[in-house]
Amino acid sequence: IQEAEMITKEQIKEIYVDRGYKGAKIEGKQIYRSGQKKGITPYLKKLLKRRQAIEPHIGHMKFDGKMHRNYLKGKKGDKHNALLVGIGHNLRMILRKLRLLFAQIIFWLQNHQKNYSTVKIYVFE
């Protein structure tokens, strides 16, 4: 938490964690656990669900981005590796969207093509 505050230069007031978190209470910060019933408003419930939506992306970055193995040295290497994995993940998502767009354009062109084989050509002399 302290590192995140140093990096973002923002004071963290609320922390959303999963059920496995059994950490101590931190003064000045509110901790919300997934599955918690007490003190949860509809807005907080929505935020906790948002956290669950991020988990698959982290899993894909670890597996597809080969984040399980870091060949870069030291703390700087760890930072660079995480940054490069994030960039690679974003590029894969952009390329997937472009492939879908290209497929839709091809499909549209095939279905809206004029049929020129039935056009009669008259030659006047």
Q: What global pTM score does this model have?
A: 0.50
- Please state whether beta strands 14-17 and 30-33 pair in parallel, antiparallel, or not at all (unpaired): parallel
Q: How many structural domains compose the chain?
A: 2
Contact 77, 70 (CB under 8 A): yes
| Three-class SS state of 38 | coil
**Cα–Cα distance between 89 and 16 in angstroms, integer?**
24
Same domain as 42, residue 2: yes
What tens digit of pLDDT does each residue of 68-104 get? 677 778 888 888 888 888 888 889 889 999 999 999 9
Structural domain harbouring 22: 1-53
Same domain as 49, residue 6: yes
Is 102 among the domain residues?
yes
Same domain as 48, residue 95: no
**Cα–Cα distance between 79 and 96 in angstroms, integer?**
26
Instruction: Look over the chain and give the mean of its residue pLDDT values, rounded to a whole number.
Output: 78
